[in-house]
Structure 1
Amino acid sequence: MTRVLVVDDDFMVARIHQGFVQKVPGFTVVGAAHTGAAALQAVEELRPDLVLLDIYLPDISGLEVLRRLRHESSDVDVIAITAAQDTETVRVALRGGVMHYIIKPFTFDTLRDRLERYTEAVARLGETPTAVQADVDRFFGTSRGAARDGARGGSRDGEANLPKGLAGQTADLIIAVLRDSATDLSAAECAERAGLSRVSTRRYLEHLVRLGKAQVRLRYGGAGRPEHRYMWRG
């Protein structure tokens, strides 16, 4: 489980964010803080893996909290969640090493997507001591190929008509797994090969089926529900 500390000056907003986090498989909230000082103390005492950090706090700013964490060589990861939209704040947050920057207000799907990307990237980089460029691109959410396609007005298979909460790069990873498989795959098998969670993988597989890019068949055997098997069809 990824242990999360929620930091927000508004008690009600913090409670909503806690509820969002608890709904995402693999994440649990270990505490909440409503000031910068309380956030620093909570990080030291609770040792979370991830902090959801507001920028506007009543005593010191979230950027100062971030600076102090890095000055103390804290290895906690941080996702900024804030109403701050000025480019200087975004720039300073990026320099401080935030994993993502989410602007309020946002939906549950937005936060779920960022948390799932975070989990997938950390898990993938943890599998091997050497990362290839594709792994690094997925970790930082960047892709020069995607930028070129966007500039041309084109669309990759994984990005076509993506619903909110799904990422084009992750969809492309799922597609690559399906294309490379000589047989059909269950969601669990596809997730294992892609290094993703089963729940997240199934959402992408179902999206590809709706697009007609993948096909699904049912395998019956024994008691219980039939198993869904997926295959690339292009």
Structure 2
Amino acid sequence: MIKVLIVEDDPMVVKFNKYYLEQVGGFELKGVAASADDAFSVLEKEPIDLILLDIYMPGINGLELLSQLRKTDTNVDVIIVSAAKDSISIKKALQHGAVDYLIKPFEFERFSAALSSYKNREKFINSKEHISQEELDKLLHYKQQPSSLEAFPKGLDKNTLKLVWDKILEIKDTAFSTDELAVLLGISRVSIRKYLNFLEEINALKKEVIYGSLGRPIYKYKYIKSNTNSINNYL
């Protein structure tokens, strides 16, 4: 389990972050801190792998806290979760090693994608003694710029697409509906439908109409093994 500390002074945001964290799975909340001083107190007592860090806090702000962490031997990763969206704050956060940056307000699927991506990265790195350039490129989602025909579709998020596709690969032998996949991923039906429509457009999925006992049509999707490569250019 990845041990998490939430550093946030807004109780309502803390409540939502706790709930979201539980939905993703693989993470254990070890503490909540409303200030930098409280955060350092938790870090002295608990081994923490990941901090969900707000920027706007009383006293020492999140960026100053992140800077102080990088001056110590504290081996902890940070994902910024903040309403700060100015380029200076974002640049400073990335310069000090934040592994992701979520701008409030955000949808659950973006939070889920950030946490899932981090979890997969940690699992991969911890399982390897040596990593090849090819493996590292995949880990960092590096690839050459796509051609105009492969341009990433507007309105979709690459991390969320990967999250959806990974789940489809897990259940690839079973036909599934939009509702069923939405429940499995904890993502809204509206969002899931956008990704399924895209996967159908590139022939990675096939949609079938199944009529129930009352004659109402139910749309089910099936994984198309022969066309798996069609999605590789987008991941």
Under a length normalisation based on structure 2, what TM-score does the superposition of the two structures give?
Answer: 0.69
CA distance in 2, matches of 1:139, 1:37: 34
Residue 186 of structure 1: how far off its partner (Å): 5.4
Partner of 1:124: 124
Residue 12 of structure 1: how far off its partner (Å): 1.4
Percent of residue pairs bearing the same amino acid type:
27
Residue 153 of structure 1: how far off its partner (Å): 2.4
Q: Report the AA paired with residue 63 of structure 1.
A: L
Instruction: Tell me whether 1:77 sits opposite 2:81 in the alignment.
Output: no
Residue 136 of structure 1: how far off its partner (Å): 2.7
On the 8 A contact 1:215/1:233 being kept in 2, the answer is: no
Distance verdict in 2 for CA 1:24–1:165, change over 3 Å: farther
Dislocated runs of 4+, deviation >6 Å = none
Deviations 1:23-44 (A, max 9, x none): 1121221211111111121122
Unpaired stretches in structure 2, ≥5 consecutive residues: 174-183, 186-191, 208-221, 228-235
- How do residues 178-189 of structure 1 correspond to structure 2 at under 5 angstroms? 187=171
3-state DSSP of counterpart to 1:154: helix
- Bigger Cα displacement from structure 2, 108-117 vs 84-93: 84-93
Q: Report the AA paired with residue 142 of structure 2.
A: S
Q: Report the AA paired with residue 8 of structure 1.
A: E
Under a length normalisation based on structure 1, what TM-score does the superposition of the two structures give?
Answer: 0.69
Partner of 1:115: 115
CA distance in 2, matches of 1:131, 1:58: 41
- How do residues 16-55 of structure 1 correspond to structure 2 at under 5 angstroms? 16-55=16-55
Partner of 1:233: 226
Instruction: Tell me whether 1:154 sits opposite 2:149 in the alignment.
Output: yes
3-state DSSP of counterpart to 1:58: coil
Distance verdict in 2 for CA 1:187–1:132, change over 3 Å: farther
On the 8 A contact 1:125/1:135 being kept in 2, the answer is: no
CA distance in 1, matches of 2:154, 2:92: 33
On the 8 A contact 2:80/2:93 being kept in 1, the answer is: yes
Identify which of structures 1 and 2 has the higher relative contact order when contacts are C-alpha pairs closer than 8 Å and 6+ apart.
2
Q: Report the AA paired with residue 148 of structure 2.
A: G
CA distance in 2, matches of 1:186, 1:7: 34
3-state DSSP of counterpart to 2:79: strand
On the 8 A contact 1:110/1:165 being kept in 2, the answer is: no
Residue 112 of structure 1: how far off its partner (Å): 0.3
Equivalent pairs counted in the alignment come to 194
On the 8 A contact 1:4/1:48 being kept in 2, the answer is: yes
Deviations 1:77-115 (A, max 9, x none): 110111111212111111111110111111111100000
Partner of 1:94: 94
What is the alpha-carbon root mean square deviation over aligned residues?
3.3
Distance verdict in 2 for CA 1:36–1:108, change over 3 Å: same
On the 8 A contact 2:5/2:30 being kept in 1, the answer is: yes
